[in-house]
Amino acid sequence: MWVEKNLRFDLWLLVAVVSLTCLGIVMIYSTSSITAGQLMQGESAYFLKKQLLAAGLGVIAMITAMHVNHEKLKYFVFLLLALSIVLLVLVLVPGIGVEIKGSRRWVDLGPLNFQPSELGRLALVIYLAYSLSKKQEQIKSFTYGLLPYLIISGLMMGLIFVEPDMGGAVTLGIILFVMLFVAGVKLRYLFGMLLLSVPVVFYFIASAQYRWERLLATINPWNYRHDAGWQLVQSFLALGSGGLTGVGLGEGRQKLFYLPDAHTDFIFSVIGEELGFVGIAAVVVLFMIIAVRGGLIALRTDNRFGALLAFGITTMIVVPAFINMAVVMGLLPTKGLVLPFISYGGSALVIYLSAVGVLLNISTRMYVPR
């Protein structure tokens, strides 16, 4: 049966996701209204309208996914994977891909710019869950249990990296590592993969001047406060001025052309400024609820495909969230990763809500341990 009715979904997960999405809509208007008013000839709600459109599409996709048996995704695994790879190639083609701030990551779809890497992330999770769930003892073999996934994931990571989007490529690598680990791939293979990846990542950071400067700015942002460390210093000022309860919703100053990308990558800073420690803590708690409930759904579901899929979806939501928050607080070098459900970005919101719909459908298979 494709469509299921009268299902009991994980309410904690649903409330956490809806709360983050609603907060995101409010904060996008707060952070972007003045910027939009100047850039779009007085249309202060420009970014808000686009995010509301994406939220509407995302909610429809989430509700649909909630009521469609997640097992049916097996029929579309290779179609989704192939479509994602094709789109990742097309986005690099001049005239098809949309270039913004030197990065070619989007395809123009009229009212929305679609980011193929977001679909690619979900497609890879579904593919890994499907393929790994079919393997038993073969999972212990390097040739059958690891190599095929390294090739496919490596191809997608390479395409995302040349956009360039190193943060997106690294996130894909983390998702791969987590799913291989929970599927039972030998630890020595995973440890070797981890050891090899560290010098590779360091090489790519050192080979690009702007990445190297971002790394140095993370170590000592005040020495680079007029160039590579500007964004991070402004983030610190926003977080520091918020105090316990913030300066008030809409009253933040750093979004007034001081903090670049205030409505996208650094929206968490504005939350800290306007809503204070209370607002930051609420966001962290909501993401922790998603992590815990997603983990429980994975551990308690009644089939291996559903368990791996739940682990993968939870990872693809939680990892970018905590990387984004770590970047904003100066714990990691600046990367172009949005805060799921909160940052401005239509394709990211639609894909994340769709993924949550699948996770909620899996939650209906949870059993209660005695």
* Domain residue extents for the chain: 11-363
Give residue-wise pLDDT tens across range 322-341.
Answer: 999 999 999 988 877 899 99
Question: Residue 88 pLDDT more than 60?
Answer: yes
What is the C-alpha to C-alpha distance for residues 324 and 336, in angstroms, rounded to an integer?
Answer: 8
Residue 114: phi and psi, rounded to 5, are -95, 135
CB 255 within 8 A of CB 28: no
Token digits of residue 183: 């599927």
What is the C-alpha to C-alpha distance for residues 224 and 235, in angstroms, rounded to an integer?
Answer: 14
Question: Residue 108 pLDDT more than 80?
Answer: no
Token digits of residue 16: 């956490």
What is the C-alpha to C-alpha distance for residues 46 and 6, in angstroms, rounded to an integer?
Answer: 38
Helix/strand/coil for 113? strand
Question: Residue 158 pLDDT more than 80?
Answer: yes
Strands of 112-239, DSSP E: 113-114
Highest mean pLDDT among 168-172, 298-302, 354-358: 354-358
What is the C-alpha to C-alpha distance for residues 303 and 297, in angstroms, rounded to an integer?
Answer: 11
Give residue-wise pLDDT tens across range 182-237.
Answer: 998 999 999 999 999 989 888 888 888 888 888 888 888 888 888 888 889 999 99
Find, among 359, 331, 276, 349, the residue nearest to 28 by Cα: 349
What is the C-alpha to C-alpha distance for residues 159 and 169, in angstroms, rounded to an integer?
Answer: 8
Query: Residue 245 has what DSSP assignment?
Result: T
Helix/strand/coil for 292? helix
Grade residue 297 by pLDDT with cuts at 50, 70 and 90: very high
Grade residue 370 by pLDDT with cuts at 50, 70 and 90: very low
Distance, CA of 13 to chain centre: 17
**What does pTM read for this prediction?**
0.94
CB 85 within 8 A of CB 151: no
The amino acid sitting at 39 is L
CB 178 within 8 A of CB 149: no
CB 358 within 8 A of CB 129: no
What is the C-alpha to C-alpha distance for residues 335 and 322, in angstroms, rounded to an integer?
Answer: 12
Tell me which long-range contacts 70-79 makes (C-beta under 8 A, separation of at least 24): 70/305, 70/306, 70/309, 70/358, 70/361, 70/362, 71/303, 71/305, 71/306, 72/2, 73/126, 73/130, 73/309, 73/358, 74/130, 74/305, 76/126, 77/126, 77/127, 77/130, 77/131, 78/127
